[in-house]
Amino acid sequence: MSPLRPALLPAQPLKPSPHPWLWPARIPTGKITLLLGDPGVGKSLLALDLAARLSAALPWPDAPARLPPLPATLSVTDDEPQTCILPRLAAAGADLARIDCLFGLRLPEDALAPYTPLVLPDHVEAVRYLARSRPIPGLLVLDPLSAFLSPAANANPALAILPLADIAAETGLTILIVAHPRKSPARGPLYRLGGPLAAVAAARSVLLLTPDPADPARRVLTTVKSSYCVPPPALAFRIIDGPRVEWLPADTLIASGVSGLPLDLLDLSPDARSALVEAREWLAHALASGPRPVRDLLTEARQLGISLATLRRAKRALCVRSTRPAHDSPWLWSIMPYNKDAQGGVRQS
């Protein structure tokens, strides 16, 4: 038997192309997106809102609809379809003819048999069949991830997520996985899913949903991982009667000085969160007119009682960049603007 040899693909003949999106800059087509957030924050309601928009080709909160109506399959274990899921989809404007609820699995020749719960990775071939059985794969929502994991995958979610990533790439099925981050004071939310980092690495986009520290009635959706573009600005919404999601204007958080949330926000105490919000608002106002010398900003922050650690967190949250125009000139801080590109992605200017 001959020894294995490297399989090489020459790069020169290849033509670069942008990755397609379901939701521009936030949910890539044919990939896994994770939606993380604490229990009760509104992740399931948000997932239904996104599925509704996709099914009826409704505009996204920050972008026009670019695709025709697409099918969505919902596997939601915590809510009843008739009393919870369907009314919420209807309130969100969904085309219910394009949405299916996945209750479980059973043999096709025994339609009266009880459902077998979907367990991953044991039943990944059923997911592959679902994707291949439709002319357009569309969207699959798994909510929450923990309800579908086998005992082995519960200890190591990569066992379930990596095969799903392969199916998504092979078939074009877009998979939105809802999960609860585990509390870990020493680590950021990307590490809290549990198991090795490979589980999160399989997701091409990771979205974090949190309450807004400046307004507990408001929810903030932040992109904490984006493989195909610069993470877009955070978005905000409220939950109103229905219940349904009411998205706020795309520039709401930027206008209020809350353009994004740092990855360690969930680990801060209430006092530290309040201090961060105040520092972020002050820094956004201080840089609103253009670049400022870092030395002046540090002096002003110290006079206001803003610690250096809090100021650095505010700097990260606002995507502030440091520049030095010339070797003998002072360092400057400025807020990086975001612009949408022609493919609906986001780039930094």
Question: What tens digit of pLDDT does each residue of 235-253 get?
Answer: 999 999 889 999 998 777 6
Bridge partners of residue 335, in order along the sequence: 320
Give 260: exposed, middle or buried? Use CB within 10 Å, 0-12, 13-18, 19+: buried
pLDDT of amino acid 345: 41
- Collapsing DSSP states into helix, strand and coil, what is residue 230? coil
pLDDT of amino acid 180: 80
- Collapsing DSSP states into helix, strand and coil, what is residue 49? helix
Q: Give which of 136, 180, 235 is closest to 34, Cα–Cα.
A: 180
CATH superfamily of 21-251: P-loop containing nucleotide triphosphate hydrolases (3.40.50.300)
- Rounded Cα distance, 127 and 137, in Å: 11
User: pLDDT by residue (tens digit) across 218-232?
Assistant: 999 988 888 888 888
Low-confidence ranges of the chain (pLDDT < 70): 182-199, 253-273, 336-349
CATH 3.40.50.300 domain position(s) in the chain: 21-251
Bridge partners of residue 35, in order along the sequence: 178, 207
- Rounded Cα distance, 33 and 226, in Å: 9
Tell me how far the alpha carbon of residue 301 is from its chain's centroid.
Answer: 32
This prediction's pTM:
0.76
pLDDT of amino acid 348: 38
- Rounded Cα distance, 72 and 62, in Å: 21
CATH 1.10.10 domain position(s) in the chain: 268-348
pLDDT of amino acid 342: 36
pLDDT of amino acid 262: 45
Q: Where are the beta strands (DSSP E) in 137-228?
A: 139-143, 174-179, 205-212, 215-226
Fold classification of 268-348 is: Arc Repressor Mutant, subunit A (1.10.10)
- Rounded Cα distance, 125 and 116, in Å: 14
